[in-house]
Amino acid sequence: MAYFYEEPSHTFGEYLLIPGYTSAECIPENVSLKTPVVRFNKKSGEKPSLSMNIPLVSAVMQSVSDDKMAIALAKEGGISFIFGSQTIENQAAMVARVKSYKAGFVTSDSNIRPDQTLEEVVSLIEQTGHSTIAVTDDGTAHGKLEGIITERDFRIDHVPANSKVNEYMTPFAKLVTGKDGITLSAANDLIWAHKVNQLPIIDDKNHLVSIVFRKDFDNHETHPNELMDTNHRYIVGAGINTRDYMERVPALLKAGVDILCLDSSEGYSEWQAKALHDIHEKFGKDVKVGAGNVVDREGFMFLAENGADFVKIGIGGGSICITREQKGIGRGQATATIEVAKARDEYYSKTGIYVPICSDGGIVHDYHITLALAMGADFVMLGRYFARFDESPTNKLIINGNYVKEYWGEGSNRARNWQRYDLGGKKGMAFEEGVDSYVPYAGRLHDNVSLSMSKVIHTMCNCGALSIPELQQKAKLTLVSSTTISEGSAHDVTVRNTSIHS
Ligand code: RVP
């Protein structure tokens, strides 16, 4: 007879934390968000070989995690998993770009030709949010540098229609440039000596290589959490599937990837076990591979026993996900996280091995991150959250007068990542498990992540916890009624200024 769970499953919005005792040492400056990413023998005192400085990873999705996102998130202390629903060559090239990225040297992604119009400059500025545009002979990031145009060079309502870029740009002859190979501090000295805001770096044929921005240098100085390998290169992850891993994994390893993740909507399967074994056997035990997704004890135990370095939790809770509607499988994200966390602790006390768990999807408010951690997650994976930022790979558009960014599921017709929903064998008729959507544009990743982490840290102080493991031990969680939920936002008043609630 079928097994029945008698209790309904719950999601984050149905829980709140009850504060614990806050001692005088429990202040934000003393809180650490450091968290393990891969399995380690905790009982013997071993340290995990890979940890993060903040408990956030970005989703394995076309509309979320490319090389640009990976660099931005590594600067904050987290990891991006570059999407696998692309050719092996393209994915490896993205990984290689992250690993060869030199902090402070930016590949220009707002470029234009000299014969284009100022109207086109304005729309490019609107689309990318960048106020400095490189002018190159072919309009690409590595074309011959002809000049620089910024939003301060012209007033669009004061120039004749169809005015050309080359009439208003600062031409090459008047630019201060740096030669490829220059160090960041030498580039910064030039910026200061010539009182410029950016320094284009060119090769010996005057082709644009990168740009150093004054503000980026300042930012670089203020990234105390950045996540680097022993060679001072940013840490980066990549998604893989259970079909082409024998070719994909070596290409990603060659590109320098630090960690892999088997990306599937349902990970309690023979194919994941086989992939974990094959990868570890063929490419070595040191290759780090997360697996998932699962939503219960059995699923966790299966993947942990088969060598997963971390286990990802969640079916059907993603904002763009319609798996539950389409197939009737899934579980409330909070219940799934709580049960898998218990299994993780059980596995640890049996074996001495700690296998980190990641709650994937369904984070709507910042406090949901804290709840997931309190429920036992070591880190969380987010899609919608990151899709809203400048650094996500999608278009920024204006819809009904508001800025939005595109965001689509891997199981949507737009992504066509059917392998994520693959059951091996011959595939039946494909159907969508995700939607194509817009999310409100939210600005720079750095600003948003700093604010979100500040909220997490403050709540941890309220719970008397200075670290994530301490939060997991001390947290007191309560289920709430729907009336309690409405009591939690502003009520019975007319709100005058909504900005502080966004
Ligand atoms: P969210 O952060 O709520 O947007 O959820 C992101 C997660 O949703 C991903 O990490 C993945 O597990 C899941 N996803 C991605 N695509 C789809 C889909 O098309 N159904 N679901």
What residue spans define the domains of the chain?
Answer: 12-102+226-485, 111-221
Between the CA of 358 and the centroid of ligand 1 the distance, in Å, is 13
- Is the pLDDT at 307 greater than 90, yes or no? yes
Least confident of 25-39, 120-134, 141-155, 448-462: 120-134
Q: How remote is the CA of residue 182 from the centroid of ligand 1, in Å? A: 41
As a whole number, mean pLDDT of residues 468-489 equals: 94
Average pLDDT for 394-411: 96
How would you label 82-105 residue by residue, b for 16+ Cβ within 10 Å and e otherwise? bbbbbebeebbebbbbbbebebbb
Kindly report the backbone phi and psi dihedral angles of residue 143, in degrees, each rounded to the nearest multiple of 5, phi listed first.
Answer: -75, 180
pLDDT band at 219 (very low <50, low <70, confident <90, very high): low
Sequential DSSP letters for 387-435: HTBTTSSSPEEEETTEEEEEEE-TTSTTT--GGGG--SSS-------B-
d(CA 483, CA 494): 19
> Residues 251-272: what's their mean pLDDT?
97
Pocket test for ligand 1, best of 293, 312, 313, 320 (most atoms within 8 A of CB): 320
Name the strand (E) or helix (H) holding 342: helix 333-351
Nearest CA owner, ligand 1 atom 10: 59
Q: Which atom of ligand 1 is nearest to the CA of 434?
A: 19
Other beta carbons within 10 angstroms of residue 476's beta carbon come to 11
Q: What is the pTM of this model?
A: 0.83
Predicted confidence (pLDDT) per residue in 59-109, tens digit = 999 999 999 999 999 999 999 999 999 999 999 999 999 998 877 788 888
Asked whether 63 and 211 are in contact (CB, 8 A), the reply is no
In the structure, what pLDDT confidence band is assigned to residue 287 with cuts at 50, 70 and 90?
very high
Average pLDDT over residues 181-185: 84
Pocket flag, ligand 1, residue 439 (CB < 6 Å) = no
What's the 409 CA to ligand 1 centre distance in angstroms? Answer: 6
Residue type, 393: P
Q: Examine the residue annotation and report whether 420 is marked as an active-site residue of this protein.
A: yes
In the reported structure, the alpha carbon of residue 315 is separated from the centroid of ligand 1 by a whole-number distance in angstroms of 9
Comparing CA positions, the residue from 337, 252, 328, 253 lying closest to residue 293 is 337
CB 38 within 8 A of CB 310: yes
Distance 61 CA to ligand 1 centre (A): 8
- What is the spatial order of strands in the sheet that 111-112 belongs to? 111-112, 132-136, 145-150, 170-171
Strand partners, 202: 179, 208
Provide the pLDDT for residue 501. Answer: 47
146 lines ligand 1 (CB under 6 A): no
Whether residue 320 has its Cβ less than 6 Å from ligand 1: yes
Write the DSSP symbol of residue 53.
S
Indicate the class that CATH gives domain 12-102+226-485: alpha beta
Q: Binning pLDDT at 50, 70 and 90, where does residue 373 land?
A: very high
Q: What is the dihedral of CA 491, 497, 500, 502, to 10 degrees?
A: 80
What's the number of CA atoms in the CB half-sphere (13 Å) around residue 76?
A: 26
pLDDT at position 284 is 96
CB distance 362 to ligand 1 below 6 Å: yes
Say whether pLDDT at 150 is over 80.
yes
Ligand 1 in reach of 58 Cβ (< 6 A): no
Does the pLDDT of residue 58 top 90, yes or no?
A: yes
* pLDDT over 50 (residue 496): yes
H runs (alpha helix) in 77-213: 88-100, 118-128, 165-168, 184-193
Ligand 1 pocket, residue 380 CB under 6 Å? no
Q: How far apart are CA 278 and CA 242, in angstroms?
A: 10
pLDDT at 159: 87
pLDDT in the model for residue 502:
43
Work out the pLDDT band at 211, boundaries 50, 70, 90: very high
* Predicted confidence band of residue 489 (pLDDT cuts 50, 70, 90): confident
Instruction: For ligand 1, pick from 12, 56, 295, 321 the residue to mutate: most ligand atoms within 8 Å of CB.
Output: 321
Substitution site in 326, 360, 392 for ligand 1 pocket (most atoms within 8 Å of beta carbon): 360
pLDDT (tens digit per residue) in 108-118: 888 999 999 99
Domain 111-221, what architecture? Roll (3.10)
pLDDT, tens digit, 9 for 90 and up, residues 1-37? 999 999 999 999 999 999 999 999 999 999 999 999 9
Of 381, 112, 440, whose CA–CA distance to 259 is shortest? 381
CA angle 133, 215, 440 (to 5 degrees): 70
Q: 286 C-alpha vs ligand 1 centroid, how far in Å? A: 28
Encoding tokens for residue 328?
């009737």
Query: Mean pLDDT throughout 256-283?
Result: 97
Query: Is the minimum distance from the CB of 266 to ligand 1 under 6 angstroms?
Result: no
Assess whether pLDDT exceeds 70 at residue 498: no
**Which of 321, 358, 461, 463 is flagged as catalytic?**
321
pLDDT at 40 over 60: yes
